[in-house]
Amino acid sequence: MDIVVAGRHTDVPERFREFAEAKLAKVAQYDSRAQLVRVEVVHEPNPRQADTAKTVEITVRGKGPVIRAEASAGDMFSAFDVAMGKLMQQERRANDRRKSRHKVSRRTLPVVEGAIGDPVLVAPEPVVEEAVEAVTVAEGTVESSLADSPVVIREKTHKASPMSVEDAIYQMELVGHPFFLFVDQATRLPSVLYHRHGWTYGVLRLETED
């Protein structure tokens, strides 16, 4: 299992690299399919956010689904410990899920598509300024700022294979996010899965007009 430790807007001391590599040895104990673990440390320069100045994101990639966890704290060591705790919870959950899928059939979770009462997001007026100063900050990730504007846009490109809604729910639970972007295997449409409440989920799909 390869481990990569990188910093964005900050230097990563060798002491932290050794600390992270020692802690991440636990990942292989829970997931023998893990092939690459990437740790990214991000520094927030705003002095008003000193308590959360360091953000650590841990991403595990392998033959199974991607598992990701992140946390923020005043220093990178504390942020790593919190993120590592979240990651281990997700690894244990994934491990239990893999075992249970061999014993019993997966139950179908209710999915509500565009239910009445869901919040409606209204797209803002398009910005006509062209984005400038595009900077690649990581593999598949680009940050750019709008001309004469403090707005910073971060774009990520992920490779994806079509999947079912049930598989999307499974992967969303693994990464610990409240939403998950995927291509629906049944409709071949770009879709967003999101958690509503309890065991209820929603799916929004995009269909282009001719």
Q: What would the mean pLDDT of 41-60 be, rounded to a whole number?
A: 82
Give the domains, in start order, of the chain with CATH numbers. 2-103 (3.30.160.100), 111-205 (3.30.505.50)
Q: Across the chain, what does the average pLDDT equal?
A: 76
Output the pTM of the full model.
0.50
Distance CA 76, CA 41 (A): 7
Rounded to 10 degrees, the C-alpha dihedral 135/12/70/76 comes to: -130
pLDDT tens digit sequence for 138-173: 556 777 766 665 677 878 787 788 999 888 888 887
First to last CA, the chain: 47
β partners of residue 4: 38
Report the run of H or E that residue 24 belongs to, with start and end.
helix 14-30
What is 151-186 written as a DSSP string?
-EEEEE------B-HHHHHHHHHHHT-SEEEEEBTT
Give the model confidence (pLDDT) of 3-27 as tens digits.
Answer: 888 888 788 889 999 999 888 888 8
99, 103, 105, 110: CA torsion to nearest 10: -50
